[in-house]
C-alpha cells in the first residue's frame, strides 16, 4: 500500500485583540502599546472561555503588543499553554500619527490625510508603513508559522489590520481601497493554509463570529468609507 501523504494543512484560529480606550476614541494605534480597557478585558475573558473547547490547539502565538497579549492570556490559561510572542504580528505602523484621531490628523497633517483617503497600497502615513509593506510582513509571518507548525492547530492573537490583510488575500482583493470585511474586537476567525510554501493561499472557514460577545455594549467601528462620504 502507498504511504499516506502527511497532513500539511495548518489550522489557524485568528483573534483580534479586545477593545482599548483608543479603539473607543477611534485613534490610530499601530505599534503604540495600548492596554485593554474594562470592556476589552471582559471580551478577552469570554473569548478565552470559547477557546477552551479547542483542545486540538497546541500552540498560542500573539503579537508582542500588550493589548494582544492581554487578550491571549485567558485562552492560554484555559488550555494550559504558554503564549509565544512575535513582533511580526503587530498592527500596521502609522508613524507620526499614532495616537491621533482622524480630525487631529486632518488638522496637523492635511496632505497625509488626503492621500490616506485614496487608500493606495503604496501610501504610508509620515514615517509609517505602506499597505504593501505591511501585507508582505504579515504573509511572511503566516508562512513562517505554517512552516514551523505544519499540520497543527494554533491560536494567533493579533490586530484588525492584520486580519484585513488576511481577508483581502483569501478573497483575492486589491490592497488598495477601504476595508471590506467585519473585524470585531475579540471576534473568532478560522483559516487554513494547506501549503506553508504558499501562505497566500488561504481558506477562510469562519469569520467575525461574535456570539460570545452578544450582550456586551456595541463596538466602536472605524468605517473608512465614512471618511470618503464626509470628504464629498
| Helices within the chain (DSSP H only) | 21-24, 38-51, 66-79, 102-108, 110-116, 131-148, 160-171, 224-231
Give me 225's grid cell: 468609507
Output the pLDDT for position 91.
98
Q: Tell me: is residue 19 an annotated ligand-binding position.
A: yes
Q: Is 23 labelled a binding residue?
A: yes
Query: What pLDDT is attached to residue 124?
Result: 96
Q: Tell me the pLDDT tens digit for each residue of 198-207.
A: 999 999 999 9
Tell me whether residue 208 is annotated as binding: no
Is 16 annotated in a binding site? The answer is yes
Q: What is the pLDDT of residue 197?
A: 92
Which member of 91, 109, 159, 212 is catalytic?
A: 91
Is residue 67 part of an annotated ligand binding site? yes
The domain locations on the chain are: 10-231
- pTM of the predicted structure, to 2 decimals: 0.93
Quick check: helix, strand or coil at residue 229? Answer: helix
Strand partners, 204: 191
Report whether pLDDT(6) > 90: no
17 is catalytic: yes
Confidence at 2, pLDDT banded by 50, 70, 90: very low
Instruction: Give me the CATH topology for the region 10-231.
Output: Rossmann fold (3.40.50)
User: Is 91 a known active-site residue?
Assistant: yes
Amino acid at each position: 500500500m502507498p504511504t499516506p501523504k502527511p497532513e500539511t494543512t495548518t489550522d489557524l484560529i485568528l483573534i483580534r485583540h479586545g477593545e482599548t480606550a483608543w479603539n473607543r476614541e477611534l485613534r490610530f494605534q499601530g505599534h503604540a502599546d495600548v492596554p485593554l480597557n474594562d470592556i476589552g478585558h471582559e471580551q478577552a475573558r469570554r473569548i478565552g472561555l470559547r477557546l477552551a473547547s479547542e483542545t486540538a490547539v497546541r500552540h498560542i502565538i500573539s503579537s508582542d503588543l500588550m493589548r494582544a497579549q492581554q487578550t491571549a492570556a485567558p485562552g492560554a490559561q484555559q488550555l494550559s499553554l504558554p503564549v509565544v510572542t512575535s513582533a511580526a504580528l503587530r498592527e500596521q505602523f502609522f508613524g507620526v500619527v499614532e495616537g491621533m484621531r482622524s480630525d487631529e490628523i486632518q488638522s496637523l497633517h492635511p496632505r497625509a490625510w488626503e492621500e490616506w483617503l485614496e487608500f493606495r497600497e503604496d501610501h504610508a502615513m509620515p514615517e509609517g508603513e505602506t499597505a504593501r509593506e505591511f501585507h508582505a510582513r504579515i504573509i511572511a509571518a503566516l508562512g513562517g508559522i505554517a512552516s514551523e507548525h505544519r499540520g497543527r492547530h494554533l491560536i494567533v492573537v493579533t490586530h484588525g489590520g492584520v486580519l484585513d490583510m488576511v481577508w483581502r488575500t483569501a478573497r483575492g482583493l486589491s490592497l488598495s481601497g477601504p476595508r471590506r470585511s467585519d473585524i470585531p474586537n475579540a471576534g473568532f476567525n478560522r483559516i487554513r493554509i494547506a501549503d506553508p510554501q504558499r501562505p497566500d493561499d488561504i481558506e477562510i472557514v469562519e469569520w467575525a463570529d461574535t456570539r460570545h460577545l452578544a450582550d456586551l455594549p456595541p463596538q466602536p467601528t472605524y468605517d473608512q468609507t465614512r471618511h470618503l462620504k464626509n470628504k464629498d
